[in-house]
Amino acid sequence: MSAIRGELIRRAAGTGHDQFRALVVEDDLDFREGLAHLVAHEGFDVSQAGTLHEARAQLRERSHGVVFVDLALPDGSGFDLLGAGPNPQPDFVVITGTATVEAVDRALRHGAVDFLTKPVDLARLHAILTRLVRRMGRFGPMLGRSLPMQRVYDLISKIAPSQAGVLILGETGTGKELVAQTVHQMSRRTAGPFVAVNCGAISPSVIESELFGHERGSFTGAEHARKGYFEAAHGGTLLLDEITEMPVDLQVKLLRVIESGRLMRVGASEPVVVDVRVLAATNRDPERALRQGRLREDLYWRLNVFQIEVPPLRERGDDILMLAEHFLSEFNLREGTSKKWSERGLRKLAKYSWPGNVRELRNVVQRTAIIARDVVDDPGLPEDEAEQSPMEEGSALQIPVGTPLADVERRMILATLRMVRGDKPEAARRLGISLKTLYTRLNLYQATGRTGVGGQVEPPNPSSDG
């Protein structure tokens, strides 16, 4: 793995910048500069000190996320630095000549979070920094330090290196696609492509050729042979989003491709060999889809070797605030502004139930940041909590006679989505429209800034970040 986080992430994050500031305290100049270089390579801003005296001055001047400290310094023991600095305390990593049990024990008792021996073991340094960054609430591209997210991170670390299938579950907008991207990034396939396909947004008649490609002349309009998403993901990872929306006969073919590593383009007579790790996601209950016969059991078992449940945002505690700060910093960076949340604004965010999860939060932050002056005080969340909470089956909408039909349609669509808790395929079925139509409408509402709760959308076309 390369640097723990890129320059971009750090700059975009804006807040908590000092967490990525490291101090190396060491009197041996060569070793100090070598270590500083390595830590900088992991994405930290590094300063150096040769004595306790210098180190104290630097710690007073600004806060640091992590301090590497040698024990034998010209003006005293490195232990004297531990616990002495201003709050918030940095994490201390002690540098010892040899990792004897006594030395390590002593370091940990003094409050060090870890130790390094000379010469530096690169893998160990990387592991230490990765752990520190994770405690700060970052895991690859993902943000959040709540317990439920820590569990997700644990799972991802364990399963990313394997080739096994992963089924990612979670409400709309919780970050299922981001989880898939993270699995990809932390796998051996990271240099290969990551391709995400939304099975629900492709009409059933073309989904096979979209996935597996087609030969020239295989159907009317097929003027050129074309690779499908599977081949585009060769050497990398393919995320099949809304997997339960894939026609059942195609699920059979999909299983065969996963098992054999070969696929047939539509109209082809020779198979193509593909090397793709397949991940799947859905915001539906897969067991229910199985019972309804909409998800084939054999495919399910293949995809469900591991299961990751992404928790809803309302169960992530202070992650809401961390994400709100992050999205506002992103906005500031893009727009060249320096807007800030007021306490009142943050309190409102923390109290809201976020049925559209992280995507809804991001949209809310962007919308309010545009309108706000310097201080973002009112996130403009719906006053009427009833408008936002999930609707019960059979509840009614009050629509004044004379309401434009387009508005009636919009309100009915959004209310239905609330009733089925953002389950778009289910909403489409209830409304008697195709899923593709539903996506088109939701995109329209988003474009005109009239999304309600359920209106968190994504493009109707499959996306690929190559």
The residue among 213 and 311 lying less far from ligand ATP, judged by its C-beta, is 311
Q: Rule CB under 6 A: is residue 379 a binding residue for ligand ATP?
A: no
Q: Tell me the β-bridge partners of 340.
A: 375
SS (H, E, C) the chain: CCCCCCHHHHHHHCCCHHHHEEEEECCCHHHHHHHHHHHHHCCCEEEEECCHHHHHHHHHHCCCCEEEEECEECCEEHHHHCCCCCCCCCEEEEEECCCCHHHHHHHHHCCCCEEEECCCCHHHHHHHHHHHHHHCCEECCEECCCHHHHHHHHHHHHHCCCCCCEEEECCCCCCHHHHHHHHHHCCCCCCCCEEEEEHHHCCCCCHHHHHHCECCCCCCCCCCCECCHHHHCCCCEEEEECHHHCCHHHHHHHHHHHHHCEECCECCCCCEECCCEEEEEECCCHHHHHHCCCCCHHHHHHHCCEEEECCCHHHCCCHHHHHHHHHHHHHHHHHCCCCEECHHHHHHHHHCCCCCHHHHHHHHHHHHHHHCCCEECCCCCCCCHHHHCCCCCCCCCCCCCCCCHHHHHHHHHHHHHHHCCCCHHHHHHHHCCCHHHHHHHHHHHHHCCCCCHHHCCCCCCCEECC
SS (H, E, C) 163-212: CCCEEEECCCCCCHHHHHHHHHHCCCCCCCCEEEEEHHHCCCCCHHHHHH
The least distance separating ligand ATP from the CB of residue 172, rounded to whole angstroms, comes to 4
Phi, psi torsion values for 319, nearest 5 degrees: -55, -30
The least distance separating Mg ion from the CB of residue 245, rounded to whole angstroms, comes to 12
The least distance separating Mg ion from the CB of residue 316, rounded to whole angstroms, comes to 18
- Residues 264-303: x where in contact with ligand ATP by CB under 6 A, - otherwise, as a string: -------------------x--------------------
The residue among 22 and 358 lying less far from Mg ion, judged by its C-beta, is 358
Size of the site for ligand ATP (CB under 6 A): 18
Work out what residue 237 binds among ligand ATP, Mg ion, none; the CB cut-off runs from 5 to 8 Å by kind. Answer: none
Q: Rule CB under 6 A: is residue 410 a binding residue for ligand ATP?
A: no
Binding region for ligand ATP (CB under 6 A) out of 5-13, 248-256, 355-363, 367-375: 355-363
Q: Rule CB under 6 A: is residue 10 a binding residue for ligand ATP?
A: no
Can you read off the two tokens belonging to residue 69? 């400290």
Contact residues toward Mg ion (CB under 5 A) are: 176-177, 241
The residue among 214 and 277 lying less far from ligand ATP, judged by its C-beta, is 277
Residue with tokens 């309401």: 403
The residue among 47 and 181 lying less far from Mg ion, judged by its C-beta, is 181
Footprint on residues 140-169 left by ligand ATP (CB under 6 A): 142-144
The residue among 170 and 192 lying less far from Mg ion, judged by its C-beta, is 170
The residue among 13 and 35 lying less far from ligand ATP, judged by its C-beta, is 13
- Determine which residue in the list 32, 145, 302, 362 makes contact with ligand ATP, applying CB under 6 A: 362
- Determine which residue in the list 96, 130, 146, 174 makes contact with ligand ATP, applying CB under 6 A: 174
The least distance separating ligand ATP from the CB of residue 174, rounded to whole angstroms, comes to 5
The residue among 24 and 358 lying less far from Mg ion, judged by its C-beta, is 358
The least distance separating Mg ion from the CB of residue 159, rounded to whole angstroms, comes to 19
Binding region for ligand ATP (CB under 6 A) out of 155-163, 175-183, 228-236, 249-257: 175-183
Can you read off the two tokens belonging to residue 229? 């998403």
Closest by CA position to 280, among listed 297, 302, 250? 302
The residue among 12 and 431 lying less far from ligand ATP, judged by its C-beta, is 12
Work out what residue 142 binds among ligand ATP, Mg ion, none; the CB cut-off runs from 5 to 8 Å by kind. Answer: ligand ATP
Is the separation of the CB atoms in 218 and 275 below 8 Å?
no
Work out what residue 172 binds among Mg ion, ligand ATP, none; the CB cut-off runs from 5 to 8 Å by kind. Answer: ligand ATP
Binding region for ligand ATP (CB under 6 A) out of 57-65, 173-181, 219-227, 299-307: 173-181
- Residues 442-461: x where in contact with ligand ATP by CB under 6 A, - otherwise, as a string: --------------x-x---
**Rg of the chain (C-alpha set):** 26
Can you read off the two tokens belonging to residue 204? 């059933």
The least distance separating ligand ATP from the CB of residue 459, rounded to whole angstroms, comes to 11
Q: Rule CB under 6 A: is residue 244 a binding residue for ligand ATP?
A: no
Work out what residue 144 binds among Mg ion, ligand ATP, none; the CB cut-off runs from 5 to 8 Å by kind. Answer: ligand ATP
Q: Rule CB under 6 A: is residue 355 a binding residue for ligand ATP?
A: no
Answer positive or negative: Cα dihedral of 454, 459, 462, 466.
negative
The residue among 176 and 362 lying less far from Mg ion, judged by its C-beta, is 176
- Determine which residue in the list 32, 265, 359, 441 makes contact with ligand ATP, applying CB under 6 A: 359
The residue among 55 and 281 lying less far from ligand ATP, judged by its C-beta, is 281
What count of other Cβ atoms lies within 10 Å of the Cβ of residue 146?
A: 18
The residue among 177 and 210 lying less far from ligand ATP, judged by its C-beta, is 177
Nearest residue relative to ligand ATP (C-beta) = 175
Instruction: Provide the binding-site residues for ligand ATP, judged by CB under 6 A.
Output: 142-144, 170, 172-178, 241, 283, 358-359, 362, 456, 458
